[in-house]
Structure 1
Amino acid sequence: MIEAHGALQRLAAGLTDEQVTEASGLPGWSRGHVLAHLTDNARMFARLAEHALRGELVAGYDGGMAERNAIIEATAGRSAAEHRAALVAHMAALEAAWARADDMDWSRPVTFRNANLAATVFARWREAWIHMVDLDVGVLPDDWPEDLAAHAIGFLLGRLPAGTHLHAEDARRQWSVGGGPPGTVVTGRVRDLAAWLAGRTPTVSPVAAEGLPALGPWPPHPPQRPDRA
């Protein structure tokens, strides 16, 4: 995670005011929107961590997605220097909160995805690397750490139909989507499989004899819980 924050900080350091206003790789978002999201995402996770370490559960956003979206819109128009300063400050605050956690603290519950504090580290890891690609200033899925790509595949498997099998040729790893009969086998490099599942452009598209299956929605937040009797 520290490596991801360092890469993000170096990437932001080279951005000009003009680049910040230009379109990102996400439809309808400028690079400023992506930076605003990455900055506020760090602030939100720090908020969850601070409360979790006190044994408290709070929502990431009291106002839900409307508050999240409003913050992004309100801060997207910052100058490059303002974006850098805010991003660095909130990443440092998040890392400081995590640094205070001991082995027991990582299992403390948080409202984000009905998970625990440890899960927010992995979530931030995904956010940082995936959105660095969206900034469209030189970082590609090929730059993702292999472990990040493998983790992202596991997180995003729910986007695939039951019975789908993934085979990463370069990493000698396989994943299967349970709950159905054997289905499509998708083959590719681990980073390309991760990029495809994340809705980003892989360097070399994965392949399947029957054609690539359609991707379902991103895993819901919070996850759907099974009905209880």
Structure 2
Amino acid sequence: MTEITTSALLAELHQAAGIVTGVVAKIDDAGVKAPSELPGWTRGHVLAHIAGIANAMARQLEYAARGETIELYDGGYEGRTKAIELAAGHTAAEHQAEVGEAVARALAAFDGLPDSGWATRITYRDGTVLDGGLALWRELVIHATDLGMGRGPETWSRTFCEHLFDFLSARVPAEQKFVLQPLALPQLVIGSGRESVSITGMITDIAAWLAGRTPTLGSLRAVAAADGVDLPSLLPWPSGVPAK
């Protein structure tokens, strides 16, 4: 899988941000209270999380530019959860303003990076600014889908899906390897275990399944030792905090 360049990642971030803000602009007060695609979360919860992660990633970069580090969320995971619950019930207008301001802040931080800035260390996953940029890209694209406003996994690009295959390879159980066979595209192997399981389907459906979302374009087929089997179980999302 080809690694994405920083210039390409910036373009992807701007495109994803535009999609998110465009979707958010269509949500009214009743829509804020409606269920999202995430169990137990309304759209308001998803919107609060989008604003929260965008602000969190922006300040990672703002501190890094000063040679400092700071935790991703004030109060850690508990602080993140409390902030989401407090903001989930905001009006549509409030969510639109909060998401718009947070996303703009994050984009400004990434746009202002010098070439060397992408390698600066941040606390997110004990990684670099590049890791933070990839994370924000995932958050914007996937949570735009979670809003349930017509941006399902079928809208994810091949580039994004292949990035997910790489990032989510950490979900493959140690004893297995997955031979991913996207229809009409070259196969990819993730994981390094001895037990081989082939997963066949549309590339977006395979990516959605790996991300814990519902495939939308067709059924996935799993084969092990030449026999059809159930889709294998996945390990938890590879993140410093639980997936949401």
Q: Tell me the residue number matched to 1:192.
A: 205
Q: 2:38 aligns with which of 15, 26, 48?
A: 26
Instruction: Tell me the secondary structure at the aligned position of residue 183 of structure 1.
Output: strand
Q: Tell me the residue number matched to 1:171.
A: 185
Instruction: Tell me the secondary structure at the aligned position of residue 163 of structure 1.
Output: strand
**1:215 aligns to 2:234 (yes or no):** yes
Q: CA deviation at 1:62?
A: 3.4
Q: CA deviation at 1:216?
A: 1.6
Instruction: Tell me how far apart the structure 1 counterparts of residues 230 and 69 of structure 2 sit (CA, whole Å).
Output: 44
Q: Tell me the residue number matched to 2:117.
A: 105
Structure 1 segment 116-155 matched on structure 2, within 5 A: 116-155=128-167
Which range moves more in the overlay, 196-205 or 168-177? 168-177
Q: CA deviation at 1:30?
A: 0.5
Unaligned runs of 5+ in 1: 223-229
CA contact (8 A) 1:34 1:134 kept: yes
CA contact (8 A) 2:20 2:140 kept: yes
Q: Tell me the residue number matched to 1:89.
A: 101
CA contact (8 A) 1:152 1:194 kept: yes
Q: CA deviation at 1:186?
A: 1.1
Which range moves more in the overlay, 142-151 or 165-174? 165-174
Q: 1:201 aligns with which of 214, 218, 225?
A: 214
Instruction: Tell me how far apart the structure 2 counterparts of residues 205 and 107 of structure 1 sit (CA, whole Å).
Output: 40
CA contact (8 A) 1:154 1:175 kept: no
Q: Tell me the residue number matched to 1:39.
A: 51
Instruction: Tell me how far apart the structure 2 counterparts of residues 78 and 134 of structure 1 sit (CA, whole Å).
Output: 18
Q: 1:160 aligns with which of 172, 179, 192?
A: 172
Q: CA deviation at 1:133?
A: 1.2
Greater strand content: 2
Unaligned runs of 5+ in 2: 1-12, 224-228
CA contact (8 A) 1:171 1:189 kept: no
Instruction: Tell me how far apart the structure 2 counterparts of residues 125 and 61 of structure 1 sit (CA, whole Å).
Output: 18
> Which string of whole-angstrom CA distances, capped at 9 and with x for unpartnered residues, describes residues 199-226 of structure 1?
111122321123311112111417xxxx
Instruction: Tell me the secondary structure at the aligned position of residue 208 of structure 1.
Output: strand
Instruction: Tell me the secondary structure at the aligned position of residue 104 of structure 1.
Output: helix
Structure 1 consecutive aligned stretches of length 4 or more whose deviation exceeds 6 Å: none
Q: TM-score, normalised by structure 1?
A: 0.93
Q: TM-score, normalised by structure 2?
A: 0.87
CA contact (8 A) 2:179 2:187 kept: no
Q: Tell me the residue number matched to 1:183.
A: 196
- The one-letter amino acid of 1:11's match is V
CA contact (8 A) 1:20 1:32 kept: yes
Percent identity of the aligned residues? 38
Q: Tell me the residue number matched to 2:67.
A: 55
